[in-house]
Every structure is written in structure tokens, then in C-alpha cells.
Amino acid sequence: MVGMETTTVLVVDLVGSTRAIASVPQVRMDEMMTEAMLPVRRVIEELDGEIIKFTGDGYLTAFRSATGALHAAAQIVNLFISGRRLPIGEWVEGCRVAIHTCDTIRFENDLLGEGVVVPARMEKQVPTNEVYVTSTTVEAAKSAEFTFDLIGDLSFGGIPRPVRVHRLLAERYRGIERETFLTVTDLIGLNALAARVSLTALNERLHSWVGMHHEALGATRGRLRSVAGDNILSTHDSADDAVDFLVMLDRLARDQVGTPVPEQAAATDPAAAGVTVVPGPGERLQAPFAFSAVIIYGDLFVPDFGLAGPAVSTACRTLQALTPGTKIAAAEVLRQLTAPREDFGGAPPPLPDGYHLFGPPDGGEAAFSGA
């Protein structure tokens, strides 16, 4: 069925993705593209955009609102400005975004017409990590919250007349992520293990640990933001998603049950039976992925080199003061939960003011306790 409708079309394309894909093993291509594109998809969907199709290294999307498309474009560019190196370690130069408002023809699951041709052709002329917008989108938005620079009248193949193009000044949107739920995890014993096993074994352990984060984040609409030694920083948009992430990560870690290493094998390579080592006198054999964690709520500063700001500093400082293996959430996180959580029975260890304990009741599911 064919229908005509006024649509704001947004085209986003990754820059450098072909080179990045060529540099990774084939088995990691899917992981790389997922890491690059999933945050983009979430921004589009959260601002009521519709993904029409994946174009190989980007998306063709449609918005009913020109304002929504402009907000999405600014946030998408900010994703790549704030962290072009993906958490899996590969480098993506950035993205290009083009927006045009026009009547389009919706045919089956696709869009046809000038509204698609103009942004698709315009995107090729957009500098990396910039947003080009046609005058029709500027006029449709009619909002003082956006600022534009006039680029000029550009000609595109297949379009009979020049198109007036502006650059969205998105700098004001960059560098700050407000009201974010930040989780910082600390893998216990990594430094001690690094002195006792081969680099290959250590690398495999870290890959497994990061993989657990990816699995838990993929199920809870989260984003892995930074891997710094034994600390991994992740973010969510809601308290429920952040808590569900920690519950799932804790369950995944506990499922990795270790077995003792024979002393003869441990003498030559303590990683002979995985990463579990023989406990010494007075030591307790831990699960391979025991960890501490903090969930905190606040604003983040996102420079080119990672995450910063009071929320990050507070979370990391609090994490360092915890008894290893303790997992806590700020009171503000619990206040914003919409799903009820069971209390954790038993006396909690001393906690910083304003935090609540996360832990597994004996034989039960993980839960939070509140004062």
C-alpha cells in the first residue's frame, strides 16, 4: 500500500567502519558493529524515531518530529565524540548525520522519494562528527533551542534544484550526560593473578569478564563505557535496568564455578585449570569472577578520553573503601525503582551513608536491602 506523508528523514553513517572491520577477526565483526550501532539505535528509538533499514554501516530513519530528529542527531554525534574507541578496543573515527524534512512515499517497509535521496546524497559531504540539515528541517523545527550555521546551496545528483543546507551547532549538547545510572565493577584478585599466570591466560580471563558485561548489558539496555584494568564502567537510563544488570551480572559470575588446581600443575602454571588457584593456609577458594560493585545516580562529564565527573569520582572512591565482594547501590537509585525488590536478610557490613546493600540471600535470588 502506497501512502504520502511528511517525514523528517535522518541518515547516519559510520566513518572508518570499513577499515575497522578489516582490522578485526571475522568472528568479532558482529561484536564490533553491535557495540557501535546499538547505542545509536537506542537514541533513535527513545526519541520516537523509526529505523527504516540498516544500510551496512548506518541507519535510514524517520521521525514525525523535526525537533526529535535534531535532538537525536546531536546525541548520536556526542556518542562518537565522547568515545570513538569502542569498549572491545577497535577504533571507529566517528559518524556523519544528514537530515531532511519532506513528503515521502511509504511503500511496504521502505521510504521512497526526494526525502530519502536528499539526505542520502548530502551525508557524503558531511564532515566527520557533524550534522547537516536542510532548510526545510530548520523551518519545521522553529525552535530557539537549536543553533545553525549556513553552509550554502548544494547540488545533489538526481535533484533538479540546489538545496539550502545548514550545520547544526551540536557542541552545546556535547560533554554532559545528565541523570545517568552508573555502575562500576571491580574484579577481585586481578592484580594478584597477573603476577601468577601467563599474559595469555590473563587476557582470556579479562575477555571473559568483559563478555559477561556485554551479555548482561545486552539484556538490560545498557552501555559499556570504559574498561580500566579491573574496573568496568557501564551506564543505564533507568534504575530498574541498572539493578537488573547487576543482578544478571552477579548470576553470570556465580555460574562460573571454579575447581581447585592440582598442586603439581599449579607449580608450573596456576591457570592450568582455568584461573582458579590453590588457596593457601587460611584462604578461601573464591569463584573465578568474584567482584565488588557500586550503582550511583548523577550527571557524567564525557570528554574524549572516557568518563569523568563527580559521579565517577564518588563511585570509584566508594568502591575502593568497600570490603571486597560487597555490592551496593545509592539510595537515590532505589528510590527510582518501579519494580519491587525483596530485602536482603541478615546484618550488612558497615556501608557508607546513603547506600544500600546488594547480595544474594542464602539459596535465593540476589536482592537489595534498604534502610
Separation of alpha carbons 225 and 84, rounded Å: 11
- pLDDT at residue number 351: 57
Q: Are residues 110 and 186 in the same domain?
A: no
Kindly report the length of the chain.
371
Residues 160 and 181 in one domain: no
Q: Which of 158, 173, 188 is the last residue of a domain?
A: 173
Q: Which residues of 339-349 are buried (b: 16+ CB within 10 A; e: fewer)?
A: eebeebeeeee
- 162 and 188 fall within a common domain: no
Residue type, 295: I
Asked if residue 13 and residue 141 are part of one domain, the reply reads: yes
Q: Which domain holds residue 159?
A: 2-173
d(CA 199, CA 158): 56
Q: Using CA atoms, how far apart are residues 121 and 180, in angstroms rounded to an integer? A: 36
Strands 94-107 and 130-134: parallel
- What DSSP state is assigned to residue 305? T
Question: What single-letter amino acid sits at 143?
Answer: S
Q: Are residues 204 and 313 in the same domain?
A: yes
Where do the DSSP E strands lie in 280-321?
A: 291-301
CATH of the domain at 219: 3.30.70.1230
CA distance 96 to 215: 29
16 and 123 part of one domain: yes
* Residues sharing a CB contact under 8 Å with residue 321, sequence separation 6 or more, in sequence order: 352
Query: Pick from 145, 173, 201: which residue ends a domain?
Result: 173
Q: Could you read off the pLDDT tens digit of each residue along the chain, which spans 371 residues?
A: 456 788 999 999 988 766 655 555 665 566 666 666 777 888 898 888 999 888 877 889 999 999 999 989 988 888 777 655 454 445 567 889 999 998 888 877 777 878 788 999 999 999 998 999 999 999 998 765 788 999 999 998 888 899 999 999 876 555 667 778 999 999 988 777 777 878 887 888 888 899 899 999 988 888 888 888 788 999 998 899 999 999 899 889 887 754 333 343 344 434 433 444 444 444 444 446 889 999 999 878 766 556 777 888 888 888 888 888 888 888 888 888 887 665 433 344 555 666 677 765 443 444 444 43
Q: Do 82 and 200 fall into the same domain?
A: no
C-alpha cell at 263: 598442586
In sequence order, the 6+-apart residues with CB closer than 8 A to the CB of 52 are 59, 60, 61, 62, 109, 110, 111
136/6 Cα distance (integer angstroms): 11
- The Cα–Cα gap between 114 and 125 comes to 17
Q: Of 153, 173, 193, at which residue does a domain stop? A: 173
Grid coordinates given for 240? 530498574
Please state the domain count of the chain: 2
DSSP states along 125-171: TSPTTEEEEEHHHHHHH--TT--EEEEEEE--TT-SS-EEEEEE--G
Q: Are 238 and 169 found together in one domain?
A: no
Which of 9, 180, 26, 174 shows the shortest CA–CA distance to 104?
Answer: 9
Q: Are residues 24 and 127 in the same domain?
A: yes
Answer yes or no: do 97 and 131 share one domain: yes
Same domain, 95 and 209: no
